Structure formats: structure tokens, C-alpha cells
Chain A
Amino acid sequence: MKTRILFLQLALLVSFVAFGQDKVTASRIRTAMWESPKEEFNIIEIPEKWKSEDAVIIATSEERSYQKPPLSAYLIEENASHNRVKILSNAALSDYGQLSFKKSTVFRGITLETYVGFKIIKPDGKEIIIENSEAVSEELEVNTGTKLTTLKLAIPNLEIGDILDYYIVENYKFPTTKYHSFDPAIFLLRQKYPIMYGNIRFAVLRRCYINLKTYNGAPNFEKINDGEEDIYQLEYIDQEKVEPIPWFYAYRSLPTIKFKVTYASSTAAYQAPNLLKKDQPGYLNTSVNYEEISSYLKSYMNLIYGFGSLTKYMKTNYKGVRDKSVLVKEAFYHQRHKLSVQFQENWAIRGNSSYIGLRRSIMLKNLSSYFKKAKIPHSYIVSVPQQIGTVDNLIIEEEVLLGLRANINPPIYITSFTAHSLVNELDENFDGAAVLISSDVSGSGPVSFEKRKMPQSPDFRNQVLTQNSVEINLESLTTKMTVIKSLSGLARFDDQKLYMDAYDFVNEERIKYDLKPITEDLPRKRLEETKKLIKEYWGSRDKKLNNNLLEQTKNKLDVEIDTVHSFKIIETGRSEEQSMFIYEFTVVSSDLLKKAGNNYFLNVGKLIEKQQEIDNEFKKSRVYDIYREYPRRFHNQITIHIPDGYSVQGLEKLQVAIENETGGFVSEAELSNDTLKIDAIKYYSNSYEPASNWNKLLEFTTIAEDFNNLKVLIKKNE
């Protein structure tokens, strides 16, 4: 009976409770939580090593139960959370001194029952149970009827040195459907405070499927035989606290558990796109095989309704073209236009982009259908979001990121799906990542997969080249900079989004795809509205752009900016011939030139843009591996015009060269006539570095940080 599981009893009891809290259930939960808990929940001492922490989590437990009681018309999801925490500082007292939980309610056909308990254990062992009646309620009512109430409890008499032991149990009843997908969840086994003991348990009954993965050193679940049901439990101990650090992906570095539970009837399990082990409901599924991925992709693609008349377009315009690489590329750019570009003007003036989520899947469906018809062999490429994990840890269908590879010579990759993406462009979730590549999917035969590491783009492919011509005005103490920025690869997307709109690039495709003006063929009222929207959009367009530019420049240079003006796009960076996004602008600042006696200082170090500062504490050592989005390079070519009658001093410090396997910072300065030229390159070679490379990374980032403070003297000639 030691492993008696609270939620099983609960589920049966709740089935007889209509609405409102049930006192018997509440009492049973309290007994289970506080009178016969696991022994770790009775501990009062904390280890010596953690006595100077803000708080120590003595024990924490998360229990999840997903059930379909026999003959019932509802599904039950139950989340039970139990924590026992030693409070050691005012900061932790603030964290745990005020807690909130949802009030039992019925909304949109879902019944929620909440059961809570809070008690304090004083250092002398005295236990004080807090009455929930002390809680105040905050209501939120949407229209009339749906009322969600949060109860807030300020824990009375809680002091530093106390232990707070509390539980919150939420029991949801959902009306039954044939297929119900519960929200995926992800747990980190390390938190803000160190943990002495923790456990996570699952109970899954009757046609509920659970897909679950533990990784990054998280222990595995074990099956506990309770005599009646199978319970899965994971226990962990002795976890240090974790705090936010730079270049850190928590789910890639910390012990992690991700899971998803699905209720499905036997037929629905097979029909819906999922990664379930269809014949094994109730089984804790910790891996997916290639067959399941293949089955998922097949049903996923079957569900997507493709549109866009790609095949017709290709037949009309590329009849007789035998070069398959041309066909693949043209098909991609047609889809980029039809599923994104042609809507951009409307999205811009209406301030929304509601179709973006659909685009990737529809494009893949359309391309694959066309490739099949055109007999272009092709494969799916499966990856997962970079920040969550790798394809080795794939367990939930929501993680799947899909791309295509046209299997021609040379192959063409399609993995990037913005309005400015190009073929053979690997976005950050595919660049350098381990992926699964399917066998040819152009036929109807079975699909197999092969795991492969994609090439990582070199830093220079994702480059920000800044050419900056600087004129200084000694009288007004201002610096005028004429800047040309050329961005390539993945480094261009952010700036394209910030500084370029439909009116800058849609015309590039208007003729090719016969795109009509958005005002054409509209009914009168719609036309009137559209014209108004266009006028309003243009009324604020320049202002918005200038604000973006001013804020971005201010943050990047880390100086106050007086004005920015003369913004102009030179190249949009949307074709293989012109793949760089190039724009120019002029910026004036009074924050770079300072008077120094009869001479002047120019803060040249600021011109290369601010290096991310790393706190001294974090510089000392690094435990966790280092993650950045992608390898990248910042190249600054600065030309400073020295005023007549003045010379410049202090160039020697501008000569720097530090390079290692993680990247480098190299700067050269040269004075020729009245012009000072600085050529500074900083690059990060990889998106991933092991923690052991931390000092190598710091070697050049610290030099770049110091470089930001460098100044030259503009000295009056004698």
C-alpha cells in the first residue's frame, strides 16, 4: 500500500461528484498528501552545502493522470503538484508568500475541481495548517457565463527558516470525443532553487496513449505495479539550482522530460496524424520508430488541402524544360509567391499575417504533389526546433519540422519558408543539425529513413557587412555616419522583417506571376476600405521605419542617436542572383565625440556595434554547453574623415587579432592622408560549442568587449 496512488482513488470518486468540491475527496487527498506521503516529504533537514541558498526544495512531486472511466461520458485529466520547500531568504519568502490557484468551476463543458492544502512547519517542528478561507478571489468573466476565478492566498505566519508544504490538485473533466489531444508538456528537472528529491508519476488508463521522452541525463521512468493499474514513476535527487545565463538553451542542457497524452478510440488513433503506438494504449511510449514517423507524415500530408495551381503554372510556363533543377527552383519560387508574397500587401495594410502558420505545410504538399507529377524524386527531411532538442529525442508530433530535398544532381534543399527564403537555404533548425531524410516519396512504396548530419553553414555565409563613412563636426560635437549594410544568409531575415515591407519587394514578382493590384476587381465598399487602409499605411510608414531604425541603431551602437534619415534599400536579398539584403541610411549622433581640453575623443570602439556583455560571474566558468542560433560574422569597414588641421592618435590599440576554433576578432587600422580606415571582423564559427570551449570563446569576445571602449584622439595640429 505504500505506493498507493492518490489519483486513482480520486478518479473513481470524482465520477460520482457532479459539481462543487467534494469534502470526502478533499479529505482523502489531504490524507494522502500529508499523512502518508513518501518519506522524502517528511524530511526537515537540508544538506549543509545548500544552507546559504535562498530556498531548498526538499521534495517535489508532479502526478499526472489521464483517464476514461468505464461507461462514462467524459475524460479526466488530473494534475497533482506537491512541494515541500525550506525558505531561507526574503527573496524566497516573496516567491512562496503569495500563491494562487484556480477555483473549482464549470466552463465550456469542462468541469474543474481544485483541491489545495498549505501548511507551515516551524523550525521547532510545530505544524500550522493554513485555512484556504483566507484566500481572496479575483474573477475574470468573458461575456456572460464563462467565469474563471483565481484564488490568491497570502501565506500567514510564514517566516525565514520555515518549511512550506503545499499541494494543488486540479481535476478536469472533458466531454468525450473520439480523439482528444491533451496539451504537450515539458518539465525541467532543475529549477530556480536546488532540489533534494523529486518525482514525476503517470497513470494512463483505457485508450489513453502517452508519448514521453527523458533526456539530458534525466533518469528513466519505472513501472510500479500497484496491483490494479500500471503507474510509471521517475525519481530524481540532488539537483543544483539553475539561473539564466547567456547562450543557453535550457532544454538542450538540463535534464528534461517532455510528454503528450492522447485519448483515441481504436479507429481514431489510426486516422489522425500522430506518433502513437496505435496498438498499445496505456503503454508508456518512449521512442518513435521510422515506421511511425512515416505513418505520421502520410496521414499529416493527407489532411492538408493543397491549393495554388502549381502544376498548371509549371505546365504552362516550363513546358519542355528538362533541367530538373530549374523546375524545382521555379516551383518553389512560385509557391513562395502564391502562399506568401501575393498576400504581403494586404497583410501589411491590415496589420496581420494570419495565413503564415499554414504556409509551410501547404507549400510542402503542393511541391511534393508537383514533384510526383513531374517525376522529380524527392525526400522529406525531418528536424525538430533547435531550442527543444534533436531529432534523436523526437517523441511528439508537434515537434516535427518538415523540409524537402529534391533528389537530383546536385540535390536541392527546401527548409526555409519566409517570403524571402531561397532554395538550398537551411534555416537554423536544419543548419548543422542531425535530421532524418526519407527515401524517395514520389512513388507509393514504403518510406524508410536515414539519419544524417546536415552541413553547417560557414560563418561568412551569415554575414553582416557594415560599411560606415564617418564625418565629424568638431563645432557641434556631432558625428554623421553614412552606413551601408549588406546582410547575407540567415543574418538577413531579421533586418528584412524590420526594414522592408510589401511595397519594397512585391513588385519584383508582379509581372512574372501576373499579380494584380490589390484594389483591382473589388466591390465598391471593399475597394473604398482598401484605399483608406493603403492611405493610412503610407501615412505612418516612414515614421514607423525611422523609429525602428533609430531604436535598432541606438541599441546596437549603444549610444544616443539624434536622427536617422535617408534610408534606402539597394537590394532586397530575395533571389539567388542578389542574395544579400543591402540598405543604406544616415545617422547622426552627439554621443560619440567628446571634448578633451583643446582636442577631441572619438569613441571609435562603439562603431563596430556593441558586444554582448557577459557578467564577470559568468565569465569565471561554464558548466553548460553553448548554443547560438547559427554561425555568423560581423564585418565592419569604417572610414573616418579627419577634419582639416587635425591629426589622429591612438591607432595602435585598434590593431587586434585573436582567433581560435570557436571564432575570432581581427581589427586593422590604417591612416592614409586624412582618412582613418578600420577593418574589423568578428566571427562565431559554430552554433554549438561544448562548455569546455568557453574560455576560447571568451578570448575574443572579451577583446571585442574591450574594443567597444576604445577611443582615438583627434588632435589639433600645432
Chain B
Amino acid sequence: MIKKATQIVFLLASFLVSSQELKDRFEDSDVAFEHFISTYEYYWDETSQSLKIKQTDEVIIVPLKTNARFSWPIFYNDEISLGDIDLRNQKGRKYKYQKVCGHVEQSGIFYSDAKVCTYEMVFTVKNEKIKLTSSRVYRDPRYFTKINLPFILPGKSRIVKIIYPQWVNAEFVSLNFDGQDIETTETISNDKKSIQYKLEWPNAFDGGEKNTPSTAFYSPHLIALTKSYLHPKNGEKIELINNVRALYNWYKTLVSNVDNQRDSLTHIVSELTQNKNSDEKIKSIYYWVQDNIKYIAFEDGIMGFQPEDAHSVFDKKYGDCKGMANLLKTMLKIAGFDARLSWLGTNHIPYSYEIPSLVVDNHMICSVIENDKIIYLDATVKFNKLNYTPGHIQGKEILIEAGDDYLVNEIPIADSEENFEAIDLDMTIVGGTLKSTGNIRLEGDSKQFFLYMYNNLWNTAKDRFVRSYISQSGESDDFNFEIEETNRDSILMITVATASDHLVSEFDGELYIQMELRNEFSEDKINFKRVAPYAFPNRRHIRSVSNLPIPDGYKVTFLPEPLVISSRGYSFNLKYEIKGDKIYYLKNIDIDDLILTPDEFESWNESIKKLNEHYNNSIILSHED
């Protein structure tokens, strides 16, 4: 009875908060939370004799619009079990909800153990606020990794509370807290420590816009590092993941469960490597796995970290990154190479091994150490050449197995000699049309992307893809092309011949000519209201040279000014110049860093404006007197 009375008092107190301020601040949202408290408490589970973490969420959701609806999601998986759920209206009465539970469909992932239950709330005049409490249990502290502060809803007060016994050695790393008004309070009692993080007026995640990176890049969150604990019964110290070595050891434990039956692979390995030198052998095996093993992503509980047996991947002809890495390693080992499994995070996540946690890694590849050089082999990236590391893992730290020991390396970022789009065009004016012949040469990520798309599209769509790739817009007048080389080891060359009416105009005896065919980045202005950073899909180095002989009887009366923009992470360098009897149009564009932060949007947009002005400007030729 006392409990019930306390509950009602609490509810009344909570509901006294006016929702008007929420409405004023979040006018685009249908619902918001008044408060959202997540409590994570470590405890010793007597039944399983193991350390677990119970997450309890308490949230009061208010509608900002009449008759609003919202489905509150609770995520779980094989390592997180769902506990109780309770929904009550403002009078403290049980709210009858519609519940839908199921697997979470994630783009590009064939199967994942990620599941969600959603609880639908319908707000009416009678039902103005709903209080939801729920609980979940992390069965293994290693999988308790990340706590987000903002949520998919905006709200007034977001509190994360972590409570753990003194006999648990844990650390909570705060990320993206700079510039956020987050109040941190630590309390230590006799047997417990407690840390509370309080964020006032958090916005909802802003993930809906084009090229938004993972929220881990910009949204405040905590990484939980449960390092060790003292067994509450016998006082024995149990190590969990307290450093990179422990992380590596954990991975090694999982890898030791893999049963690679090498015999079933010896035949294919000897077939692929006979009469070849070392480089050719590695290449032959790497390319075979790229070409013959289909990449299908599985994220299934422990199998999200443990590779599938090599012979099984070989037999099935498909596997996820771990399965492909393990197959590569096994085949290369059979061929006599020092091949090793390697863990890393792709450029979709921002972490390094300064944080020893499972959250750092979302990918696995195979590294080969040959003549003191490390070659990184990622077979999930099709049509990638040997000795070129794909862009999505460049610049990232990698954890490489080394028996009982391990190596941490940083994968180098490819320079513009290894990763480029080069365009050379000879232009002429014929009958009011700008004719261009020449070639586009692709290397590195651009080549890999082109070859992947070209080889995976339906035959009827290939032609359209090439046209839109060449023109970067889909626009094409009289457009011919030929792909001269599709071998991943060579630079890919596409010869092109185009005729564009709209790039030449004659007025009153003067010719106005635009020598720009592709207009890269011209439509990439960023919405100034955007909160999330902007992520480029890959680093780009564009080198373009076009030349146009000055037609007989004409002289150049106007050339646009050069455009030189150099900023953090990108540069644009475009100019026209006259050499002899030709006009040259030179364009260098570099995207060196993948992330633009919101404080850089204004200068980026200004750069794009100038870039467009340059693209749209014309050279002018007049009759010689």
C-alpha cells in the first residue's frame, strides 16, 4: 500500500511538468519525453553464478500534438534478455498497448539476432501521458558496451545512472561530450559506486539526412569497460576485458572454437598456386575468394564474433567477413604464408584500441606478413586489387593475431597515386556542338566501385550506369563509351566520345563555351539546419585535363578566374589557361577527410557555391578583327 501511494505521488509530481515548453522547443515532433532515466546496475546472479547487468528504463512520454501515436522500441538480442514491461496512464492505471516483436531488418545484413519489441501508444484527451518502465538483462558484461544519451525522441531530462559494486572494476568512457551540457555526478557508498549523467533538453537523433555517419561520430554516448571483478564468494579476481590484450584473448578464445578442416581445401589451394611466385600465389587465392565466395552478413549472437569454419564457407560459397577472412587465412596457410586473422572497425565507427571493448571492432580481414610487409586482404570487397587496401578501412587501427601475442597497426591512407579518377579530354567545336573524345581512368576505390557495380548490375542497366557514372548526373547527349580494361590489376580505362549542344552557344558572333562535363559535387550543398555531420562515402582525388583548340579566326576574349579553395579535408583547384593555340581546363578536386562537422557546413556551402559559379561560367571567343 505504501508502495502504491508513493507511486501515485511520484506520478503526480512528474505530470506537473508543463508540456508547453516541450512543444515550443520541439515543434516538429509528435511526442517527447519529460524524463527518461536508464539505470544500469551490476549484480551477482546466484542462479548462473555470474556477473550480470540489469538495465531499467523509466520514461514519461507526452504528446506534443493531439491524438499523437508513438511506438516505443526495446531492443534485445541473444545476449540481452527482455524483462518486465509496464505502461501506465497519468492516473496510474495500466495502459493497454499493442505490442509487435520481431527481428530487426538491417540493410545489407542477411541475418542478425537483433530483435525489437515495440509498444504502441495512442494519446488522446483522456490519455495525455504514459509512463513506461521496462527492464533488460545483459547476460555477459563483455556485451554491455555502449549507452546512448540522446534517443529517437527529443525530451526534457535524460538521465543515465550506472551502479556497480566496489568489487567490480569498471570504467565508463564518455564520448562526444564536448559542447554538451552534461552534468556528471559520482557517489561512492560503502559497497557501491554510482555515476549519473544528466543531459537537459536533448534533441532526437538526427539520422534521416543523406550521408549521415553513425551516431557514434557525433552523439554523446558512453562506452562501458567492465574490466574485472572479484568473485563475491571466493574473492578470486576474474579478468574480463581490461586492456587490448584481454580483448585479443577473448577473440582468441572464440577463434579457438573454429574447426578448419584443411584437407578439404588443399586441392583448390594447390590448383590456384602451382607454378606461381609468392605474390602471384597470394593474389590468386585472394582473388579466388573475392570472386567465388559471396558476401552475406550474419550477426548472430556469439557467431557475430566467431568465424565459421573455413571448409564450411568453401563448401557453401558464401560467408560473412569473418568466414571469408578465416577461409583466406586457412588457404594462405596451406600455401605456406604467414596469414593471420585481424579485427578492426571500418570507417562506419570512430573508435580506436584506446578503448578495449568489443564495440571497437565491426569487421574482420586477413593480414599476410610477407617480407616484413603487411598485406591487408579484405575479400568482402569485390574487384579490389592486391596491395590496395579498400577505402572503408584505410586510416583505421587493426588488431592482428600473433600467437599468444598481438599487433596493433594503423592501415595507411592511400594517396592520390593509388586512388584517383583521371579525365583527359580533347575537345573541338563542330557546328555549334562541343565534341569531346578522351578517356576516364580509374584507380583505387573508384575503380573498385565501378567494377563492382558494372559486374553486379543487370545487363540492361549496365549501359545506363556507365553513362551516369561518366557524366555524374545521368545527363548525356550523344554519348559513346568503351570500357577498355576490366582487370582489377590495371588502371580501368573508359574511352568516351560525347557531343553536347548545350555547352556551346553562339550569340552575335561570339562563342560561349563551358568545358565542364561532370560537375562533381555541384548538388552537394548541405542543409544548414542539419545537426549531424556529413560523411563522404569515400576519399576522392579527381584530376581532369581538357583541351580545346581555339577555332580559326577566333580569339579568346574572356577566361573565368581560377578557383582555389583549400580547407580542412578538401580542396578545389580549377583553372583555365591558354597554351599555344589551345585552351586548357584543369580541375583538381581532393576529398581527403570523410567527415564534415556542422561548424564546417557554412564554408563548405560557400565553396560549393563558388564551385558552381566556376562550372557555370563560360569562356568567350570572338572573331578576330
Contacts and interface: CB of A to CB of B under 8 A. Distances in A.
A170 B394 CA distance: 48
A713 B101 contact: no
Interface string B323-366: 00000000000000000000000000000000000000000000
Given A706-B501, A713-B512, A156 B318 contact: yes
A596 B613 CA distance: 10
Interface string A594-628: 11111001000000000001011100000000000
Nearest to B298: A136
Most buried by A among B316, B463, B501, B558: B316
B566 interface: no
Interface string A514-533: 00000000000110110011
A539 B30 CA distance: 13
A532 B455 CA distance: 57
A528 B99 contact: no
Given A89-B459, A159-B292, A601-B618, A709 B502 contact: yes
Nearest to B609: A590
Contacts of B20: none
A350 B67 contact: yes
A279 interface: no
Interface string B474-493: 10100100000000000000
Contacts of A711: 502, 505
Given A143-B99, A157-B316, A53 B508 contact: no
Contacts of A54: 458-459
Interface in A630-652: 649-650
A715 B101 CA distance: 66
A157 B317 contact: yes
A156 B315 contact: yes
Contact of B110 (A93, A141, A154, A713): A154
Interface in B15-65: 27, 65
A392 interface: no
Interface string A138-171: 1111111000000010101111000000000000
Interface in A512-571: 525-526, 528-529, 532-533, 536, 539-540, 560
Contact of B508 (A540, A615, A617, A649): A649
Nearest to B313: A156
A159 B292 CA distance: 8
Q: Sort chain A's interface into a size bin.
A: 35 or more
B457 interface: yes
A92 B474 CA distance: 24
B149 interface: no
B571 interface: no
A117 interface: no
Contacts of A595: 613, 616-617
Q: A interface, by DSSP: helix, strand, loop or mixed?
A: mixed
Contacts of A525: 125-126
A97 interface: yes
Most buried by A among B125, B292, B300, B455: B125
A48 interface: no
Contacts of B300: 136
Interface residues of B, number: 52
A296 B557 CA distance: 79
A610 B75 CA distance: 45
A444 interface: no
Contacts of A532: 66
A596 B618 contact: yes
A94 interface: yes
A532 B459 CA distance: 56
B296 interface: yes
B512 A596 contact: yes
Nearest to B558: A597
Given A156-B316, A709-B502, A89 B512 contact: no
B100 interface: yes
B102 interface: yes
B234 interface: no
A53 B461 CA distance: 12
Interface string A58-102: 000000000000000000000000000000011111100110000
B450 to A, nearest CB: 14
B294 interface: yes
Nearest to A590: B609
A616 B318 contact: no
A594 B616 contact: yes
B66 A533 contact: yes
B464 interface: yes
Nearest to A591: B612
Contacts of A94: 456
Given A616-B476, A706-B501, A152 B111 contact: yes
A91 B617 contact: no
B98 interface: yes
A605 B100 CA distance: 52
A131 to B, nearest CB: 11
A243 B67 contact: no
Interface string B291-333: 0101010101000000000000001111000000000000000
A52 interface: yes
Nearest to A535: B66
Interface in B98-130: 98-103, 105, 110-111, 115, 124-126
Contacts of A615: 464
Contact of A90 (B111, B126, B298, B455): B455
A90 B457 CA distance: 7
Contacts of B464: 615, 617
A539 to B, nearest CB: 8
A599 B115 CA distance: 61
A715 B316 CA distance: 69
Given A143-B99, A713-B507, A154 B296 contact: yes
B192 to A, nearest CB: 36
B442 interface: no
A644 to B, nearest CB: 19
A158 B99 CA distance: 39
Contacts of A136: 110-111, 298, 300
Contacts of A706: 501
B618 A597 contact: yes
Nearest to A525: B125
Given A154-B318, A711-B505, 5 more contacts: A97-B296, A526-B125, A529-B124, A601-B618, A616-B479
15 contacts: A97-B318, A139-B101, A140-B102, A142-B98, A154-B110, A192-B458, A528-B125, A529-B124, A533-B67, A594-B616, A598-B558, A601-B616, A649-B508, A715-B507, A715-B508
Nearest 5 interchain pairs by C-beta: A156-B316, A597-B558, A140-B102, A594-B616, A709-B502
Interface of A: 52-54, 89-94, 97-98, 136, 138-144, 152, 154, 156-159, 192, 243, 350-351, 525-526, 528-529, 532-533, 536, 539-540, 560, 594-598, 601, 613, 615-617, 649-650, 706, 709-711, 713, 715
